[in-house]
């Protein structure tokens, strides 16, 4: 079973909300005259049959997510871009505003209850569920994973009586997983990506993003208490310091390379140091970042995902999602075009693995030249990969 952003079985408090019923797509709005005529005809028929006017029964409320529905955990613009993804097609849509926040799944069950327990599980028998205590007729849930079949039902209570719903099912669209940590931009879980050898990068063990200079108290709570971050890897400069997440979080800092300057002697030891963070199972989950969460962070991510055996397409897609963020408040009058930045990643990829050489082979060989051992590289893979069930 996949690692969740929170531990399964925990009872969470979800904010209640009311959703208005919407009309069916394609239904035309009748004119006032047509509506009046229909009402008159209906009343006449009812009076002829029963001798008195009768009310039509109300339509049943729509339950969401609907049976078999597919929902995206990203906003509409990102979802549309991913559905037709092609490298370096971002220049016209990049405006450096934050669009990376995940979109919660909206649940609606209706009815008039004192409170409701919402059960959501990856298993059809609803075993090992996430459980949410809700007031009202629905809830918005953020704790779900992309590319997953889910099953859900409610147990609602009114005046001591319990009402159990049917079990419903839906799917989440397979997309990268963005994460909301208040006060940090450009955050995502690098998990969920398939590898050439039939494995998958684990969810919930490695998060990339921008620096922590605007971290809020709520963001700290989310990172430490919900995501369980144990290590902050700061790629900006090698310094002695402590993590803004708190003293219980291990702080590791390096002066990290970006793009092709990985070949410069002054950066080689730091590249090895940052990679070795992921060879120690005691360090996970790891949050790693530079300033914007794009260049030095993107360089490290290419090495990590390349070593894990992720496809070039998924590596580029993960990199380019940064341009849907505010890049930590990017304020240059003329920021660089996304295609220009992507070309630098391409230069790094070509340097490591020229032509059609697999990136996995090139990354592994390069890191071994810098002094990393097969045991260390295999440990990274063992820590970060899982079998696909």
Q: What percent of the chain has pLDDT over 90?
A: 71
- Which residues are CB-neighbours of 211 under 8 A, at least 6 positions away? 184, 234, 236, 289, 290, 291, 293, 328
Averaged pLDDT for residues 316-337: 78
* Dihedral (Cα; 48, 52, 53, 55), 10-degree rounding: -110
Please list the residue range(s) of the chain that carry CATH number 2.60.40.10: 1-175
d(CA 88, CA 338): 7
Model confidence at 35: pLDDT above 90: no
Per-residue pLDDT of 192-206, as tens digits, reads: 999 999 999 999 999
d(CA 204, CA 190): 8
d(CA 130, CA 213): 32
Please list the residue range(s) of the chain that carry CATH number 3.90.190.10: 178-387
CB 234 within 8 A of CB 251: yes
| pTM for this entry | 0.83
d(CA 182, CA 218): 6
CATH architecture of 1-175: Sandwich (2.60)
Q: In which band, very low, low, confident or very high, does the pLDDT at 59 lie, cut at 50, 70 and 90? A: low
Third-level CATH fold of 178-387 = 3.90.190
């Amino acid at each position: 079973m996949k690692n969740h952003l929170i531990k399964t079985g925990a009872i969470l408090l979800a904010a209640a909300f009311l959703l208005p019923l919407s009309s069916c797509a394609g239904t035309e709005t009748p004119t006032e005259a047509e509506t009046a005529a229909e009402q008159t005809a209906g009343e006449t028929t009812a009076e002829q049959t029963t001798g008195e006017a009768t009310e039509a029964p109300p339509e049943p409320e729509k339950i969401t997510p609907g049976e078999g529905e597919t929902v995206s955990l990203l906003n509409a613009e990102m979802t549309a871009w991913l559905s037709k993804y092609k490298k370096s097609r971002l220049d016209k849509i990049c405006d450096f505003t934050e669009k990376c926040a995940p979109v919660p799944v909206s649940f609606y069950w209706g009815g008039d209850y004192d409170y409701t327990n919402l059960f959501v599980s990856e298993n059809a028998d609803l075993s090992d569920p996430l459980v949410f205590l809700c007031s009202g007729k629905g809830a918005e849930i953020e704790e779900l994973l992309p590319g997953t079949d889910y099953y859900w039902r409610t147990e609602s209570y009114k005046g001591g009586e319990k009402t159990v719903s049917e079990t419903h099912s839906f799917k989440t669209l397979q997309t990268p997983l963005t994460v909301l940590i208040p006060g940090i931009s450009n955050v995502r879980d690098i998990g969920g990506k398939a590898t050439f050898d039939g494995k998958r990068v684990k969810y919930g063990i490695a998060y990339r993003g921008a620096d922590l200079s605007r971290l809020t108290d709520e963001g700290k709570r989310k990172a430490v208490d919900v995501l369980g971050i144990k290590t902050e890897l700061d790629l900006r400069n090698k310094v002695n310091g402590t993590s803004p997440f708190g003293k219980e979080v291990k702080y590791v800092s390096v002066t990290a390379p970006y793009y092709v300057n990985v070949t410069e002697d002054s950066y080689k030891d730091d590249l090895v140091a940052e990679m070795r963070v992921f060879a120690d199972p005691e360090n996970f989950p790891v949050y790693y970042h530079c300033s914007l969460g794009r260049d030095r962070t993107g360089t490290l991510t290419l090495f990590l995902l390349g070593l894990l055996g992720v496809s070039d397409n998924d590596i580029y897609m993960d990199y380019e999602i940064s341009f849907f963020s505010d890049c930590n408040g990017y304020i240059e009058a003329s920021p660089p075009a996304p295609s220009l930045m992507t070309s630098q990643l391409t230069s790094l990829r070509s340097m490591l693995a020229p032509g059609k050489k697999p990136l996995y082979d090139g990354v592994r060989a390069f890191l071994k030249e810098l002094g990393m051992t097969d045991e260390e590289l295999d440990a990274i893979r063992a820590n970060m990969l899982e079998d696909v069930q």
